[in-house]
């Protein structure tokens, strides 16, 4: 989902809550960096009843899944790209490709398949 106001921490919190609320019983923790956009983490914690963890600065290994996801995204969207120049349709197509891509870590299942398996 594109945030119309960029990295405004209130808007980020609202978007995280809106996107994850239907799955809140399955969301136990959220790990993020110390960026300003997560300043409203308490709002997320309250709404989802999930613990928010912050990785230490310059400790990318503490959020390995996030770093791996960034590498996958960079295969389609190079670092430094202005996201305002990308269409919603293009961003959605990248999202679909990544979520349908088999992962060794998931025994060559896809994130999409595992997500729905956990919900059932």
- The answer on 32 and 14 residing in a single domain is yes
- The answer on 83 and 45 residing in a single domain is no
> What's the domain range around 20?
1-54
Residue holding tokens 């808007």? 11
In three-state secondary structure terms, 100 is coil
Mean pLDDT of 32-59: 91
Mean pLDDT of 105-116: 95
In three-state secondary structure terms, 32 is strand
pLDDT of residue 44: 97
- The answer on 105 and 70 residing in a single domain is yes
As a whole number of angstroms, the distance between CA 85 and CA 104 comes to: 33
- The answer on 79 and 106 residing in a single domain is yes
- The answer on 97 and 70 residing in a single domain is yes
Reported as a single tens digit per residue, the pLDDT across 49-66 is 999 999 888 887 887 788
pLDDT at 33 over 70: yes
How many domains does the chain contain in total? 2
- The answer on 93 and 43 residing in a single domain is no
């Amino acid at each position: 989902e594109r945030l119309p106001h960029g990295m405004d921490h209130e808007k980020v919190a609202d978007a995280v809550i809106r996107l994850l609320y239907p799955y809140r019983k399955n969301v136990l923790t959220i790990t993020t960096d110390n960026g300003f956009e997560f300043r409203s983490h308490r709002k997320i914690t309250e709404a989802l009843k999930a613990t928010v963890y912050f990785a230490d600065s310059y400790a990318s290994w503490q959020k390995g899944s996030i770093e791996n996801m960034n590498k996958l995204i960079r295969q389609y969207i190079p670092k430094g790209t202005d996201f305002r120049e990308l269409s919603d349709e293009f961003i959605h197509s990248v999202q679909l490709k990544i979520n349908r891509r088999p992962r060794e870590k998931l025994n060559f299942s896809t994130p999409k398949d595992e997500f729905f398996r956990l919900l059932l």
